[in-house]
A and B are shown apart, each in its own frame.
Chain A
Amino acid sequence: MGGQMILNDLLQIKEKELAGRKKITLRCCMAAGCMSSGAQDVKEQLDKAVAAAGLQEQVEVRRVGCMKLCCEGPLVQADPPHSLYIKVTAENAPSIIAALQGGRAEAAQTDPEAAFFKRQMFIVLANSGVIDPERIECYIAADGYQALHEVLSEKAPRDVVAAMVQSGLRGRGGAGFPTGIKWGTVAKSPGAKKYVICNADEGDPGAFMDRSVLESDPHSVLEGMAIAAYAVGADQGFIYVRAEYPLAISRLQVAIKQAKQMGLLGAGIFESPFNFNVDLRIGAGAFVCGEETALMASVEGKRGAPRPRPPFPAESGLWGYPTLINNVETFANVPPIYRRGAEWFAGIGTEKSKGTKVFALAGKIKNTGLIEVPMGTPLSVIVRELGGGAPDGGQIKAVQTGGPSGGCIPAQHLDTPVDYESLGKLGSIMGSGGMIVMDEQTNMVEIARFFMEFCMDESCGKCIPCRAGTAQMHHLLDKIIRRQASAADLAKLEELCDMVKSTSLCGLGQTAPNPTLSTLRFFRNEYEALLRADPGGPPGPVDLKPPPVPAAT
């Protein structure tokens, strides 16, 4: 473990880092999206080109996290002159350096002041695409770990909880439970040992917010966890991260190591009696592990099967000890809240949903990528202004939020503001932030079947409503798509949806019918158009055998 850190050291690191800044910064997006399009080569070539031009003293080529406009990657931004290059290739690199000296860059550019960027508001993503995620000094230069210092030296744990309650932050994992109240419950639970867990098992297909935060600004999550641990009286933290995110895992490992070396994790942080350590736990591909009790079972090295609540993890969690579980984005919100004050945070967003929300915008839309907008921003603004509408002149048909637990919001409801309540009213959920745009070529029944298949495969099998119900619902949806279902099948499907929703053990089963229910609500005609005409007479018993021959569609 490293030596003790005091505030002065922290400020010195910041000053040294800022003083060492060069005149021009070239920021290269090195998040997973751009990396897969060759960002590593681009950065190497830029480094070489800078050296070849003899500009090492003036130009810094910095590896940064997600620069948000994923569809145009690899992205490189030069400041000054504030030019954003898109789809950069390694061959473009010398010309980008030449452009700094008045030459012409070969790479295409886009306007960094475009609506996609301008309509966003950055709290969680403030450092994303700006700092080097693998250098703690860069995070410290952006006022990192100052909130932790302030909390440890000036606030009692109960004041920390009170400030969190005042901020109005709600859990960003999907359910939207008030974070301050959760912290308060864990803080009040008696127990010599307590745990803090960061849920980074981003299992929703179509969501990559947590991956981006971990890849771009891992220290903000560590700092948030440390503040939470102090507030609830925990000394050990775990980050449960998906095995599908190797880059996020390696950046977290680097961040934890650096924080330990600097004494920002470990024993007696900032000369206080507060100790806190963080360990990584790697998931192994089970969607149900996003559910908190299943996640804890997995951290304990067991099968990720959920258990009934109560007792809630706040009372009896990991190995039976009181445990606080928050999502990545929730923890990333914590340092800014303490740095800038709870009132500041409470002033953003709507009455019941405070702050901002990060969304992963994807699907049939022009600008795909990562966005952060204040709560209450209408969906139409997100889809049309930030997203630029459907590509190739297509028409947007629906927006899917909340993944396999959410629903499809039809185009006529696009003026809905995004907050927990409004989306709930439409039969969808905020979810963790996946937002998939669908155009008129998308068959909504097929989407319902897609999500049902997902839930069927991912059901852990512990409770019957979910294990058997999802399989039967999938079978019925399949039957409808094969044009072999009758009106009675549709009625049966609705009945099953209701039954599985109200009787399943955990969130997976309880929300599995949501995509079907919401598409039934808004796109019922598409279901009915696929039904077999049943002329007269009461429909016969439901045939649960698989259909013999798939009908051509």
Chain B
Amino acid sequence: MFSQAPALFFAGLKKKTESLKMVANMAQKKQGRLKAALEHASGDKRFKILEVHMKKHLFRQDALIEVLHKAQELFGFLEDDLLLFIASKLKLPPSRVYGVATFYHFFTLKPQGEHSCVVCMGTACYVKGADKILAAVQEDTGIQPGGTTPDNRVSLLTARCIGACGIAPAVVYDGKVTPRQTAAAALEQIRKWGAK
């Protein structure tokens, strides 16, 4: 029993060093990625603007959501390099930045189409037929909510409630809230954008 102990001990140690090596590898890989991300950032003016914005918030970690808002406004979506850049500047673990970015519906990690069509699916809009508008658009474009047409023309999105219940059903085309929509009106707008 006793004689076996050193063997067990060494076996454990070996396992430990292996796992340490693995962590080191990961860290190295991460460092490499971060370096690449920062290099990417150095050539893009938008990263400068984002950094100024972070400075305005004194690089405070609790300003993460504000910073992500600004980043999405500048870049249209949050790509990995961008998230790594933010993590390094705010001195936050990338997992935390990624966790926050994926938790909130407002942030998107995929590139968006040229135009956006947001169908409000709040209760008032739903009762007045928003589901029919959405179904018609889905059928016409062949994309699901959250998707973008293959030609990158139109992204279809849904909203929880945009608070325009008095003029339901409402659809937001490229940021413009449009009242009392019908399936036909929505399809007309999408055809105007020339998606196929």
Contacts and interface: CB of A to CB of B under 8 A. Distances in A.
B189 to A, nearest CB: 14
Contacts of A36: 164, 167, 170, 176-179
Contact of A70 (B60, B64, B96, B166): B166
Which are the 5 A-B pairs with shortest beta-carbon distances? A70-B166, A284-B104, A205-B122, A206-B123, A285-B105
Interface in A25-54: 32-33, 35-37
Nearest to B120: A205
Contacts of B163: 32, 202, 207-208, 211, 244-245
Given A205-B122, A298-B65, A285 B160 contact: yes
A233 interface: no
Contact of B104 (A206, A286, A434): A286
Interface string A270-283: 00000000000111
Interface of A: 32-33, 35-37, 70-71, 73, 202-208, 211, 243-245, 281-287, 298-304, 360-364, 368-370, 400, 403, 434, 436, 438, 442, 447, 450-451, 454, 458, 460
Contact of B69 (A206, A208, A243, A451): A243
B178 A301 contact: no
Contacts of B63: 301
B65 A400 contact: no
Given A362-B124, A364-B128, A71 B167 contact: yes
Interface of B: 60-66, 68-69, 96, 99-100, 103-107, 121-124, 126-128, 159-168, 170, 176-179
A360 B161 CA distance: 13
Contact of B161 (A205, A361, A438, A460): A205
Contacts of B170: 36
A368 B165 contact: yes
B62 A244 contact: no
A360 B168 CA distance: 12
A364 B126 CA distance: 11
A35 B103 CA distance: 31
A303 B103 contact: yes
Contact of A362 (B165, B176, B177): B165
Nearest to B67: A301
B161 A204 contact: yes
Given A363-B123, A436-B123, A286 B167 contact: no
A325 B170 CA distance: 31
Contacts of B124: 205-206, 362-363, 368, 436
Contacts of A300: 62
B180 to A, nearest CB: 9
Contacts of A302: 64, 96, 100
B66 A304 contact: no
Given A211-B163, A285-B106, 4 more contacts: A71-B167, A208-B161, A284-B65, A362-B168
Contacts of A205: 121-124, 126, 160-161
* Central interface residue in B60, B68, B123, B160, by most chain A CB within 10 Å: B123
B160 A301 contact: no
A132 to B, nearest CB: 21
Contacts of B64: 301-302
A281 B66 contact: yes
A284 B105 contact: yes
Contacts of A361: 166
A303 B100 contact: yes
A246 to B, nearest CB: 8
Contacts of B65: 281-284, 298, 301
A403 B161 CA distance: 11
Given A205-B123, A454-B160, A360 B165 contact: yes
A36 B172 CA distance: 10
A306 to B, nearest CB: 13
A287 B103 CA distance: 11
Contacts of B161: 203-208, 244
From A36, A73, A282, A299, name the one whose CB has the most chain B CB atoms within 10 angstroms: A36
A299 B121 CA distance: 26
Contacts of B96: 302
A406 to B, nearest CB: 10
Contact of A207 (B105, B121, B165): B165
A319 B68 CA distance: 21
A72 B155 CA distance: 31
Contacts of A403: 123
Given A301-B64, A400-B123, A436-B123, A243 B160 contact: no
Contact of B165 (A208, A282, A283, A450): A208
A261 to B, nearest CB: 19
B131 to A, nearest CB: 9
B77 to A, nearest CB: 14
B166 A369 contact: yes
B165 A304 contact: no
27 contacts: A33-B164, A33-B167, A36-B176, A36-B179, A70-B167, A71-B166, A73-B166, A204-B161, A205-B121, A205-B124, A206-B123, A207-B161, A243-B106, A244-B163, A245-B163, A281-B66, A283-B104, A284-B68, A285-B105, A286-B103, A287-B160, A298-B65, A301-B63, A301-B65, A360-B166, A363-B168, A364-B128
Contacts of A70: 165-167
B57 to A, nearest CB: 10
Contacts of A73: 166-167
A363 B104 contact: no
A403 B152 CA distance: 35
Nearest to A460: B103
Most buried by A among B105, B128, B167: B167
B166 A301 contact: no
A99 to B, nearest CB: 25
A33 B168 CA distance: 10
* Most chain B Cβ neighbours within 10 Å, of A202, A208, A370: A208
Contacts of B127: 363-364, 436, 438, 442, 447
Contacts of B107: 284
A454 B62 CA distance: 28
A285 B101 CA distance: 11
Contacts of A454: 160
B177 to A, nearest CB: 4
A280 B28 CA distance: 39
B167 A244 contact: no
Given A207-B161, A285-B160, A301-B63, A434 B100 contact: no
Contacts of A32: 163-164, 177
